Amino acid sequence: MPTTVVEIHVPLLPTPALPDGSYPFPWIDEIEDFLSDLEDQGDVEVFDEGEEDGDVYVFFITGAGEDDLLAAASRVATLPGVPTGTTAVVTTNEAEEFGLGRRVPLPLPAL
């Protein structure tokens, strides 16, 4: 039975104005830490290791309903330093490739 997975696609853009020699994507570690904290709290499960895919870095979460997963993805998009243009893709654990689901712009509008 397929399980809902939300892919969080973050544009692979370096953080501006970093000191010379700094890792250009510190937001990747920030997002991983944030998702790990959510997982520790039992809110979501990290489905797989994040990875680079072309011009985006993709994170994967599951373990909750679609609305809760999208809410978590929306929170990721608003973390300090995360590039604008982050989107979510609602898919399943049976998808053969990244990005083969319904695209949702992030952050979600406030209710």
Residue 12 is predicted with a pLDDT of 95
The structural domain count of the chain equals: 1
Distance, in Å, from the CA atom of 10 to the CA atom of 105, rounded to the nearest integer, reads 11
Residue 46 is predicted with a pLDDT of 95
In tens, the pLDDT along 44-87 reads 999 989 999 999 999 999 999 999 999 999 999 999 999 999 99
CA atoms within 13 A on the CB side of 51: 7
Longest dimension (CA), the chain: 49
* Residue 110 belongs to a domain: no
* Residue 111 belongs to a domain: no
Q: Quick check: 19 pLDDT over 90?
A: no
Domain that residue 67 falls in: 4-105
* Residue 92 belongs to a domain: yes
Residue 111 is predicted with a pLDDT of 56
CATH of the domain at 87: 3.30.70.260
